[in-house]
Amino acid sequence: MRYPKECVLKECQEAIIRPLEAGDITLLEKFYSLISEDDRWFMRYDVGSPEVLQKWFENIDLAYVKSIVGVCEDKIVGHGSLHLRGYGATQHVGRFRIIVLPEYRQKRLGTWLLLDLIQLAMDEGLEALRTDLVVGVDNAAIEAVTKFDFFKEAVLRDYAKDRNGKFHDIAILIKRLHRQWSDF
Ligand SMILES: CC(C)(COP(=O)(O)OP(=O)(O)OC[C@H]1O[C@@H](n2cnc3c(N)ncnc32)[C@H](O)[C@@H]1OP(=O)(O)O)[C@@H](O)C(=O)NCCC(=O)NCCS
């Protein structure tokens, strides 16, 4: 993948997509400070914590996490990460997360980040991508990934709890990958 890459959002706004870099910690802290606690609650790590972000940056060169960011007017406005296992029976399956600043949502940035994560996964030789999404909470993401041929493989009933203790189903969505887009 050639970075930095320019992309055009809705209303002709321009954004740059590039890998997360070692010097981005302050920009990423600012980004996550603007993400609501409700959105952060459903992430795997407490990204509101400086220690968690510090740890991410210590591991930034590790081969098993590929992070990309969308940048607009010198601000990080979107973050996508692809997670590889690197060992064992499910090493051919990648997982990912994408999060976009609320005021940049529904402008196609999430789609641009998703396309790049799919391409990165194909470049890594992965055979499938998996994402676990919370039904009734991550509906925008479920809608977005379904457009890219992710299908619902399973549902874990009442598996996650929101901040008020209410249970939600988790949908496990899978996309099979091919070496090239032209193999589809
Ligand atoms: C999910 C998320 C990343 C989408 O980012 P985005 O930049 O808004 O996405 P896009 O503008 O590219 O939208 C792509 C598609 O998603 C769907 N979508 C986006 N927002 C939606 C909404 N509020 N309701 C329903 N569908 C929605 C639409 O199908 C849209 O395609 P369209 O523009 O052709 O209608 C963003 O909403 C977000 O950060 N949500 C909170 C975190 C989260 O749920 N992450 C998912 C974990 S992977």
Domain map (residue ranges) of the chain? 5-183
5-183: CATH topology is Aminopeptidase (3.40.630)
C-alpha 7 to ligand 1 mean position (Å): 17
C-alpha 4 to ligand 1 mean position (Å): 23
The string of pLDDT tens digits covering residues 38-79 is 999 999 888 888 899 888 888 877 788 999 999 999 999 999
Percent of the chain with pLDDT over 90: 81
- Averaged pLDDT, 86-114: 96
pTM of this structure: 0.94
Burial class (CB in 10 A: 0-12, 13-18, 19+), 126: buried
Q: Among all chains, which residue has been given the structure tokens 């590929």?
A: 66
Residues within a 6 A CB radius of ligand 1: 39, 97-100, 105-111, 131, 138-141, 143-144, 147
Helix ranges restricted to H, the chain: 25-33, 37-41, 50-58, 109-123, 139-146
When comparing pLDDT for 172 and 12, which is higher?
172
